[in-house]
Amino acid sequence: GSTLIAVGLGVAAAGFAGRYAFHLWKPLGQAITQTARKFPSTAFSSHYYKGGFEQKMTKREASLILGISPTSAKSKVREAHRRIMVLNHPDK
């Protein structure tokens, strides 16, 4: 007897909780959407350099494109270059 009552109360509580959550979902979704719109679009985009290019590429600009420090070792430059070339290869 008491087990059946406990199960019934549990089902009722779950129903009320579901109803409450359903009513909260719409305003919560709107709040999340509004918050996401406040972030700059670059916050969610790739970390690669998308700036304008100068007439002649500088070491600074090359390092921005590769995503490395301008003072990086040659091995780091080669590694970054290879990574980008593999990512952008047309036969990929």
Cα Dmax for the chain: 85
Q: Are 49 and 65 in contact (CB under 8 A)?
A: yes
Residue the block writes with tokens 């080669």: 78
Contacts of 15 (CB under 8 A, 6+ apart): none
Sign for the pseudo-dihedral over CA of 78, 86, 56, 61:
negative
Tens of pLDDT, residue by residue, the chain (92 residues): 788 888 889 999 988 887 777 666 677 777 777 776 666 554 444 555 566 667 788 888 888 888 899 899 999 999 999 988 888 888 76
Quote the pLDDT of residue 42.
46
The pTM score is: 0.41
**78 vs 63, 72, 91, CA distance in Å?**
11, 10, 20
Instruction: Give the model's pLDDT for residue 43.
Output: 44
